[in-house]
Structure 1
Amino acid sequence: MIKNALQKFRFMGFVEGGSLLVLLFLAMPLKYFFGFPEAVSVVGAIHGGLFTLYCLMIAYMTFVAKWPFRFSVAAVAVAFIPFGNFVLDKRLENWQQLKTA
Structure 2
Amino acid sequence: MTLENQVRIFKWVSILEGISFLVLLLIAMPLKYIWDLPQMVQVIGMAHGILFVGYILGAFLLFRPLQWKLSTLMIVCASSVLPLGPFYVERKYL
TM over 0.5: yes
1:66 positional shift? 4.4
Deviations 1:13-70 (A, max 9, x none): 111111111110110011011110111111111110111111110111114x243123
RMSD: 1.6
Greater than 2 Å deviation, 4+ residue runs: 5-8
The percentage of aligned residue pairs carrying the same residue is 31
Partner of 1:70: 71
Partner of 2:60: 59
1:46 aligns with 2:55: no
Distance in 1, matches of 2:57 and 2:93, equals 18
1:76 positional shift? 0.8
Distance in 2, matches of 1:66 and 1:18, equals 24
Q: Which has the larger Rg?
A: 1
Distance in 1, matches of 2:38 and 2:15, equals 25
Which amino acid is 2:57 matched to?
L
Label 1:59 to 1:6 Cα distance change in 2 as closer, same or farther (>3 A): same
Aligned length: 90
Q: Which runs of 5+ in 2 are unaligned?
A: none
Structure having the larger proportion of residues in helix: 1
Distance in 2, matches of 1:50 and 1:12, equals 6
Which amino acid is 2:67 matched to?
W
